[in-house]
A = this chain, B = another copy of it.
Amino acid sequence: MAATKLPVSRPTEVLTVELGERSYSIVIDAGSLDDLGTLLAERCQPQRCAVVTNPTVGKHYLDRTLAALQAAGFTPLTVEIPDGEQFKSFASLTSIYDRLLTAKLDRSAPLIALGGGVIGDLTGFAAATYLRGVPFVQVPTTLLAQVDSSVGGKTGVNHPLGKNLIGAFYQPSLVVIDVTTLSTLPRRELVAGLVEVIKYGVILDAELFALLERDLERLLGRDESLLTQIVSRCCSLKAAVVQRDEREQDYRSILNFGHTLGHAVEALTDYKRYLHGEAVAIGMVFAARLSRARGLCSDETEKRIVRLLERAGLAVDVPHGLSSADIAAAVAGDKKVSGGKIKFVCVEDLGRTRFELVTSQEIARLAVHRGADSE
């Protein structure tokens, strides 16, 4: 993965994710949305294409997106999916397929995801499977999608029995990140996205963690140059992980730090009480606690993690009312379970992790006995 500066007036960051024939570029700056058409035209013939978005994002950015595509010679059609995690579904997928087929889009026509993680994952899975695969472009408009879901090729939909249970690994042809789109993001979602940023610091980059400790307020104030810098750093970190282990055979699962319990908490509260990042914050604090309880990390490391998340305004405790049995069952249903044991991501120090094999019962026990353990 290489980072280069483009010779333009804005401080554009261009990362290349090196995955052989599936390599692609991530363009990051303030204002890049208006360059989408030009950037895409460098990669494929201007032609018909489809933009998938939701009304919340669409009302702010759809016109600019369509204008940018049209100016470069593309003829975009729009597919609108209602806003919300519950629409990351087979029904939405079917509505995308139907629209593309009715419009007779052929296998060279790009699908463009304009929105957050739901739109990105859904559109990516549609792109992976429509006519056995068409070019896919990500234009992530939430912090979470910018630093996490738009890099790495995980696509999919939810199933009534769980999130992201059906999907595919499918790399985009291009990712265009315009950090100015974060100006319209509700603060709660900005903070939830920040959890994944903090996660990169914890698992891979102590310097990033320290930078976040220092500049948290500037970041929450949406300073564009800081956002460009941070988003670019997170994308680089994630790209490096994905390059090493594209299909999550092993190493890539360090990115699941905080997600084992996070997913369980989301599921047990019906995906209503917490945003994904908020649940992961609880999971990260729990993972730090489990790591410290096993003697893998220091008290100080655990405390710095808890403190930064709390400063961002996040709740860090496992919600009351969840039983140990419920948690154990939810954790056992995780996709990452193999042979009854969970490969749990522990922290050793800021920027350093290790895997521990843990049973769902152990996790559940420690999760509900927070008080006793913390005394």
Contact = CB atoms under 8 A, between A and B. Distances in A.
A56 interface: no
A168 interface: yes
Nearest to A248: B132
Interface residues of A, number: 37
The A interface is mostly helix, strand or loop, or mixed, namely: mixed
A164 B247 CA distance: 25
A102 B106 CA distance: 36
Given A129-B167, A130-B166, A132-B168, A94 B101 contact: no
A169 B133 contact: yes
Contacts of A94: 90
Interface string A145-175: 0000000001010010110111111000000
A333 B104 contact: yes
A367 to B, nearest CB: 21
A338 interface: yes
B338 A131 contact: no
Contacts of A107: 335-336, 338
A87 interface: no
A106 B247 contact: no
A97 interface: yes
A79 interface: no
A337 interface: yes
Interface of A: 47, 90, 94, 97-98, 101-102, 104, 106-108, 125, 128-133, 154, 156, 159, 161-162, 164-169, 247, 332-333, 335-339
16 contacts: A97-B159, A97-B165, A98-B161, A101-B161, A101-B165, A102-B161, A106-B337, A107-B335, A107-B338, A108-B338, A129-B167, A130-B166, A131-B165, A133-B168, A133-B169, A133-B247
